[in-house]
Amino acid sequence: MGNKNLNLSDRLYDYLLSVSLREPEVLAELRQETAQFPMSIMQIAPEQGQFMALLIQLMGAQKALEVGVFTGYSSLSVALAMPPEGKLVACDISEEYTAIAKRYWQKAGVANKIDLRIAPALETLDQLLASGQANTFDFAFIDADKKNYPNYYEQALQLVRPGGLIAIDNVLWSGRVADPADQDGSTNAIRAFNQKLHQDERVRISLLPIADGLTLAMKV
């Protein structure tokens, strides 16, 4: 299965999955269907979905936010982990990819937990703030265009409650962040974002080398 993990040989990664992955059938089907797209690399790794589901249950999260849905693997993982009254506001701009997501949310019986907003996420997050939802989210997952990471993060930080968690994906960017010769715009954006977070005393952080790098930031 491998190749999306940064620091494990394929053999060790396969072993990790063989002794820990408990992927619900509906998620396995979604992963299979998504594999046909050239953009399928944008899908989170299955062990990351399982990890985020564990976080949701540890926190007892009932209100979550997602920036960047793609075909819905992460939103489905999160929604399945939340109680029946749980709500996930999911932001994306693609009707095409989220049509697949919606099909699987239905199939898994969690469509009622997910409020999909098709619009630039910065607008949706502004609307949530304008409607008085600051400090009400337990969990936020940011996994969209890298140049806007600082903006998504600032809005998410207002939207999550103290003690709430923001998870930010792709922070190790296939290792490219550590290669000074790589001056790509997205690479530089992630570098700058990582440095900003390192200094940010509004959060407690941990950067996990799971999948493509996942930073957890808990709002103080």
The CB-of-206 to Ca ion minimum distance in angstroms stands at 18
* Contact call for residue 66 and Ca ion (CB under 5 A): no
- Of 46-54, 85-93, 163-171, 186-194, the segment contacting Ca ion by CB under 5 A is 163-171
Q: Which of 143, 156, 166, 219 binds Ca ion (CB under 5 A)?
A: 143
Residue placing its CB nearer to Ca ion in the complex, 83 or 175 = 175
Contact in structure between 136 and 163 (CB atoms under 8 Å): no
Please tell me the distance from the alpha carbon of residue 220 to that of residue 217, in angstroms, as a whole number. 9
Q: How many residues bind Ca ion (CB under 5 A)?
A: 3
Q: At CA 152, angle to CA 71 and CA 119, rounded to 5? A: 50
The CB-of-74 to Ca ion minimum distance in angstroms stands at 8
Secondary structure (3-state) at 24: coil
141: left (phi over 0), alpha (psi -120 to 50) or beta: beta
Number of Cβ within a 10 Å radius of residue 144: 23
- Of 1-9, 57-65, 96-104, 136-144, the segment contacting Ca ion by CB under 5 A is 136-144
Number of Cβ within a 10 Å radius of residue 210: 18
Q: Which of 34, 48, 50, 170 binds Ca ion (CB under 5 A)?
A: 170
Please tell me the distance from the alpha carbon of residue 120 to that of residue 79, in angstroms, as a whole number. 22
* Contact call for residue 169 and Ca ion (CB under 5 A): yes
Residue placing its CB nearer to Ca ion in the complex, 92 or 143 = 143
The residues of the shown chain that bind Ca ion, judged by CB under 5 A, are 143, 169-170
